[in-house]
Amino acid sequence: MSQTLNTSEPAGPESPDIESAQPNSRRRNIWTLVFSLIALWFINHSLPVYLSLDPNQARIPHLRRDIPWHYPLLVAHVFSGTVALVTVCLQVWPWLRRNHPAVHRWSGRIYVFAGALPSGLLALAIMPFSAGPAGNTVAAVAWLATTVAGLRTARQRRYREHRRWMAYSFALTMQIIWGRVLLIYVLPLFEYNFADPAKLNLALETATWIGFVINLLLAQWWLERTARDTTRR
């Protein structure tokens, strides 16, 4: 996970060389490729209709045309979310961190200030009109909080904590994808009745919870496992 957003300073006592302390760098490069391909699939699926800036093409059926700022804020959320997805994949790429730390620092700033923070705040702004408000609100608040904590700990050079917070932030950025997989690929396998409004609502709300719960559990498992590896070494 991201070692630091500010690695220009030499490592202090609380900044173990996390990169070199961890084996399996090759495996992590491969995982980064997998994450990037998944993110590209999602971007290719969701971005083009919003690039048109045409509200008629919006995928959400409940777009509020009587509220003039709903569509622009939704589009801004999608654009900044795309920035977050691309840059977070750069952030977790071990090769880039090791060989081009300056690029890592800059893409980290872009991730925070042009991706996660604006996208999370915009998600909260359009939340009242969303189809799965409960799960989305929890996810948006957690996304903002973990990203801010990751930024703060990097600036204070508390790199162990920074790594932990950015692992959660990464998990929350990528969570958006699993809901779409559920809706587009899994439920149709069971001939799910999306025409029934109650069932549609259930599916949309479930889609918002499923991604971030699974991803946070995976992030926690990964943190514990790599902590054990490091201790053993």
Residue closer to ligand HEM, measured from CB, 1 or 142: 142
Say whether residue 220 binds ligand HEM (CB under 6 A).
Answer: no
Contact pattern from residue 142 through residue 161 relative to ligand HEM, giving x for each residue in contact according to CB under 6 A and a dash for the rest: -x------------------
Amino acid at 207: A
Comparing CB distances to ligand HEM, the nearer of 152 and 180 is: 180
- Which residues ranging from 177 to 196 are in contact with ligand HEM (CB under 6 A)? none
- Spatial neighbors of 39 by CB under 8 A, at least 6 apart, are 85, 86, 88, 89, 174, 177
105: number of Cβ within 10 Å:
18
Applying CB under 6 A, which part among 1-9, 17-25, 122-130, 162-170 lies near ligand HEM? 122-130
Interaction between residue 32 and ligand HEM (CB under 6 A): no
CB of 1 to ligand HEM, least distance (A): 17
Q: Contact with ligand HEM (CB under 6 A): which of 89, 92, 112, 139?
A: 139
Site for ligand HEM (CB under 6 A): which residue of 131, 149, 210, 213? Answer: 131
Inter-residue contact 14 to 160 (CB < 8 Å): yes
Contact yes or no for 174/89 (Cβ under 8 A): no
Among 172, 203, 207, 216, binds ligand HEM (CB under 6 A): 172
Q: Are 135 and 208 in contact (CB under 8 A)?
A: yes
Cα separation of 7 and 199, whole Å? 49
Q: In this structure, how many other beta carbons lie within 10 angstroms of the beta carbon of residue 83?
A: 18
When the beta carbons of 5 and 172 are compared against ligand HEM, the nearer one is 172
Plot region of 53 (φ>0 → left; ψ -120 to 50 → alpha; else → beta): left
Which member of 5, 112, 171, 176 binds ligand HEM (CB under 6 A)? 176
DSSP letter for each residue of 8-66: TSPP-TT---TTTT---HHHHHHHHHHHHHHHHHHHHHHSHHHHTT-GGG-S-TT--TT
Q: Is 108 in the site for ligand HEM (CB under 6 A)?
A: no
46 scored as a contact of ligand HEM (CB under 6 A): yes
Interface positions with ligand HEM (CB under 6 A) = 46, 59-60, 77-78, 81-82, 84-85, 119, 123, 126-127, 129-131, 136, 139-140, 143, 172-173, 176
